[in-house]
Chains A and B, each alone.
Chain A
């Protein structure tokens, strides 16, 4: 593949460097998801509940793509990284649920 470079390590074993291809694909997907989210709101013809669902879905999908590819979370050796972030997400999500369903009970 033209976009994969290889260097010879000290043991003479070639190591493949990842090319920019999948990062550009992740970028295009991010743009696409953003456009869908904006278009759903801008059209103003889709009912509210469905719009909210689309927005949350697009945001979660985009965050997943960016964290997996751009922050290398899908690569091995990211066990503690995932545990750390998920702990943060758990607390944050609890706060958001509290704000949405409890504050104005």
Chain B
């Protein structure tokens, strides 16, 4: 089926699913996200097992964590998830310019989140909470840092996709890439929901 050869040169309704390759890409990405779930599951379990192993004199989670900073980071990432939804909707409505603008907003918010996290880690190290301070600190940095690395990768990835759309336009080849990047971004947000719940809020409770 040559779904992308439209008479008027317009893109099909859902360009990411117009070709078999595009559909396969979306399905394979879901399976990849299943694997990512396992990866984060193991990091979460390591953190849960070690979160009370602070050692003598080292800062505890109650002393370290500041809820306003975490709330700000949460709000930024949540908003960026919404803007990436708007980007996909703009794509479905064939509004390339709006799509690019929403993607740029998403990337900026992602970079803002990263900035907050870098500041946070810098602050913790100054409070005597280094990577090798305690089992708690090692598992904390591994889990939260892995999520941060995912955000950094997403910022880079979506940034490159914006450049590619500028160069090649929106078509049935580039559309699945953008759709899949949007899924990735939502997944990062979903992982953060568990991080702020399990690491920060439960860490504050005890």
Query: Cα distance A104–B45 when bound, in Å?
Result: 12
Interface bits A79-105 vs B (CB < 8 Å: 1, else 0): 011001111110111011011100110
Closest to B53 in A: A104
Contact A66 B81 (CB under 8 A): yes
In the complex with contacts A59-B194, A92-B40, A15-B13 CB distance below 8 A: yes
- B124 within 8 Å of A by Cβ? no
Contact A18 B183 (CB under 8 A): no
**Interface residue count for B (Cβ, 8 Å)?**
51
Closest to B30 in A: A81
Which of B34, B78, B194 has the largest count of A CB atoms less than 10 A from its CB? B34
Closest to B6 in A: A10
Q: Is the interface of B mostly helix, strand, loop or mixed?
A: helix
Q: Is the interface of A mostly helix, strand, loop or mixed?
A: helix
In the complex with contacts A51-B205, A52-B202, A99-B46, A17-B78 CB distance below 8 A: no
Query: Cα distance A38–B86 when bound, in Å?
Result: 27
- A1 within 8 Å of B by Cβ? no
Query: Cα distance A18–B92 when bound, in Å?
Result: 9
- Report chain B residues within 8 Å CB of A99: 44-46, 48-49
Query: Cα distance A72–B173 when bound, in Å?
Result: 21
Contact A95 B41 (CB under 8 A): yes
Contact A23 B197 (CB under 8 A): no
Query: Closest CB-CB distance, B20 to chain A, in whole Å?
Result: 14
- Report chain A residues within 8 Å CB of B85: 20, 23, 70
Contact A103 B27 (CB under 8 A): no
- Report chain B residues within 8 Å CB of A24: 82
Interface bits A29-64 vs B (CB < 8 Å: 1, else 0): 011001001101110000010011001101100110
Query: Cα distance A60–B11 when bound, in Å?
Result: 37
| A-B contacts besides A10-B6, A42-B67, A104-B49, 9 pairs, CB < 8 Å | A34-B71, A34-B74, A38-B201, A48-B206, A55-B197, A66-B186, A66-B193, A84-B30, A95-B45
List 13 contacting pairs A-B, 8 Å CB cutoff, sorted by A.
A18-B92, A20-B86, A27-B78, A34-B78, A56-B197, A59-B193, A66-B189, A70-B85, A84-B33, A92-B41, A92-B42, A95-B44, A96-B45
